[in-house]
Amino acid sequence: MEIGLIVLAIMLATLLGWLLKQSFNTTPWVADAVDESAYQAPFNARPKLVALATFLAVATSFFALILSAYALRMELGDWIPMTEPQLLWANTAVLVFASVAFQWTRNHAVGGNAARIRPGLVLAGVLTTAFLVGQYIAWLQLYAAGQTLTANPSNAFFYLLTAVHGLHILGGMYVWVRATVRAYGGRDPDTVKQSIELCTIYWHFLLFVWLILFGFMLST
């Protein structure tokens, strides 16, 4: 349990370090003499990247707090480990493929290959939707087996962790929808590239978080 919390702490420290690096990578005494675009953050989207990094840092802290409460609560005598649905393994694989699909789409967006952007976005969206549907089905399986929210503290934390993670994915799907609409609306690939790259970072983060959450649940 402690190892997982340490990993989350490292994630937070890395994100904060990256944020500070992006915030102070400009040399003030030459900024006025040189084109400002030369000092923009990667992907030419510094403001949004900094905003995303800030959000990811907050999200990492939030998940770390929940897992800390999880670790403390399981020490009490009424804690009974829950058997996780086997479907979660398939859902995890689907989320991995969704992250890979975003990375594939991002690479083609950076390379200016507009023909690959649309199918890549659709594939990433379909896989992500399949993950969310799979999580809901896992809930139904637990409910049918009598493993309700109030049956056991471990059940409550399972529903909480999966629900919070799912809500974060739904928030990312909003950006995915906007990027997909722009791609199919005939927009210049450069105008869609920024959203795709931000989605790719976010999906990699959510995959990493889910792997930690899933590992916690399996080990307890």
Place of tokens 């990375």: 103
Q: Which residue has the tokens 């490292």?
A: 10
Mean pLDDT for 83-106 is: 95
Would you give the DSSP letter of residue 83?
-
pLDDT band at 206 (very low <50, low <70, confident <90, very high): very high
Burial (0-12, 13-18, 19+ Cβ within 10 Å), 116: middle
Q: What angle do CA 95, 98, 103 make, to 5 degrees?
A: 130
What is the rounded CA–CA span in Å between residue 125 and residue 68? 32
Region 95-110 average pLDDT: 93
Q: In whole angstroms, what separates CA 220 from the centre of its chain?
A: 23
Among 18-27, 47-56, 65-74, the minimum mean pLDDT is found in 18-27
> Domains along the chain?
2-219 (1.20.120.80)
Q: What is the CB neighbour count within 10 angstroms for residue 92? A: 16
- Higher-confidence position of 169 and 33: 169
Residue 47 has pLDDT above 50, yes or no: yes
- pLDDT computed for residue 78 by the predictor: 80
For residue 76, what pLDDT band results from cuts at 50, 70 and 90? confident
For residue 20, is pLDDT > 50? no
pLDDT for 8 beyond 80? no
| Rounded Cα gap, residues 184 and 178, in angstroms | 10
CA–CA gap between residue 192 and residue 115 (Å, rounded): 13
Check residues 207 and 57 and name the one with the higher pLDDT: 207
* Span of 16-30, 104-118, 204-218 with lowest mean pLDDT: 16-30
When the pLDDT of each residue in the chain is averaged and rounded to a whole number, the result is 81
d(CA 62, CA 56): 10
**Structure tokens belonging to residue 26:** 């400009």
For residue 113, what pLDDT band results from cuts at 50, 70 and 90?
confident
Identify the pLDDT of residue 159.
94
> 3-state secondary structure string, 126-179?
HHHHHHHHHHHHHHHHHHHCCCCCCCCHHHHHHHHHHHHHHHHHHHHHHHHHHH
